[in-house]
Amino acid sequence: MKNRFVFLTVLAVTLSPLGSASAQGLRLPPTATLAASNTANTATQADFIVAVVNSEPITNAEVRREIQRVQAQLAQLRRPQPPIQELASEVLESLINLKAQVQLAREMGLRIEDSAIDQTELTIAQQNQIEVAELHRRLQNDGFSVTQFRSQLHDQLLQQRLRDREVESRVRVSDLDIDQYLEDQKNNFNPDSVQINLAQILVAVPESATETQIAALRMRAQQVLKRAKAGENFANLVHEYSDIPAPSNDGLMGLREVSRYPTLFVQATQALNEDEVADLVHSPAGFHVLKVVKKNTPGMPAATVTESHARHILLRPSASLSETEAQSKLANFKKQVLNGVEDFAALARTNSQDSSAQQGGDLGWASPGMFVPEFEGAMNRLAPGEISDPLVSRFGVHLIQLLERRKVNLNPAQLRESVRAVLHEKKFGEAYLTWAQEVRARAYVELRDAPQ
């Protein structure tokens, strides 16, 4: 999820068209002793230990790999490169935090099965629209062995599991918090900061048009408006009726602050939500049919959200059912449903270890943020009717079927829940930082200089 500091950095791997591997938020390394300033020669230099966390070392090679990964990511995003020693210090500190947290997770008896790493690799490959074998090939071309990559996935999955267990209980969002947030946003609201993206259909009126011609063009525009308000595909109407050539952008005018739109357009759309169509606007250019495609109010959740209606089957690993066995069982369920042998809802009723089992696994309509990130991410990648591969979350192993999606305008109660999610995310990040500092303080950390 956003704003959760540096967890699961490898899980955010993106691959450039040229094959370079990188990871969002990747950790950053130590002192001037690091051989990072001359990456062309580092491969030939002897490796050495730069830090010890409790009894486990962090090597210069590990830090160099992370530096290279961060630099590749920044280059791909066309962001400026920070000074190498600043980058090095941040990378090393991040590696120290990861090492300390992974050690704590092991002490608490947490573990990650190979099947969870396999699933994560598959997810990364799917996000990059490639096969796992191609993911491995690209990583190896960039100097990262598959063993190193899977080891990083293991440690960061373990870190995530520990974080969810230890930090979640520290986060509480009260109704008073929500009231205060809404009041602050109201007091600090700047109307000019609102961003909108409008789509338009223009029925042009020539300067020399007679009253009769103007009336005919107005009628034509009103007919288009009626069809747009009835829900017809707006892009199709643009291509059919608009006098502004817009085959490539479907009439979209671009997301920007309202001050950069004509005042007439802003006045006509300011009371509308996303996907709503304004009444006819008449300007010197002609008649405009305007649709609000996107509206962003800084600091506030979107007034319109995409809800998902899904169902699932949940199996909880236990002494009698390993995580691997649960995944295999759910994979077989998926095969049976796709082959028409079994019904998803019937399988959920008889097998799911979730309170939704009696409803055939039906989870009802859900807004963004209602499910844990790993579940929601997998659900969001599905098209209506599709079934996911078995997915591991903090609750167990899931098989998800997306039934349908819809866009809805939030009512006041739903808006408060969206604010609650925003505040929860913020407080979670703050709680994580405090907790991570506590874990770091309890660890024995020794920084070492490079050998002379």
The residues, ordered by sequence, that sit 6+ positions from 118 with a Cβ below 8 Å of its Cβ are none
The amino acid present at 442, given as its one-letter code, is R
Q: Which CATH class is domain 191-296?
A: alpha beta
Helices 114-127 and 323-338, packing angle to 10 deg = 50
Max Cα distance, the chain (Å): 91
Q: What pLDDT was estimated at residue 45?
A: 53
Which two tokens mark 385?
């009717």
CA 42 to centroid of chain Cα atoms: 35
pLDDT in tens, the chain (452 residues): 333 222 223 333 333 322 222 222 222 233 333 434 444 344 445 689 999 999 999 999 989 988 988 888 888 777 888 899 899 999 999 999 999 999 999 999 998 888 888 888 887 887 777 888 899 998 888 777 899 899 989 999 999 889 988 998 899 999 999 999 888 887 777 777 788 999 999 999 998 999 999 999 999 999 999 999 998 889 889 888 998 865 457 888 888 888 889 989 999 998 888 889 999 999 999 999 999 988 887 766 766 778 899 999 999 988 888 888 999 999 999 999 999 999 999 999 999 999 999 999 999 998 887 888 889 988 988 999 999 999 888 789 999 999 999 888 778 887 888 888 888 888 998 999 999 999 999 999 999 988 87
3-class SS at 347?
A: helix
> Considering the domain 304-409, what is its CATH architecture?
Roll (3.10)
Which two tokens mark 407?
């866009």
What are the distances in angstroms from CA 80 to CA 38, 70, 75, 209?
18, 11, 8, 54
The amino acid present at 385, given as its one-letter code, is G
Domain residue spans of the chain:
10-171+443-447, 191-296, 304-409
3-class SS at 112?
A: coil
304-409 shares the fold of 191-296: yes
Fold of 10-171+443-447: Triger factor/SurA peptide-binding fold (1.10.4030)
Q: What pLDDT was estimated at residue 248?
A: 54
Helices 114-127 and 132-141, packing angle to 10 deg = 80
Q: Give the Cα separation of 304 and 407 in Å (integer).
A: 7
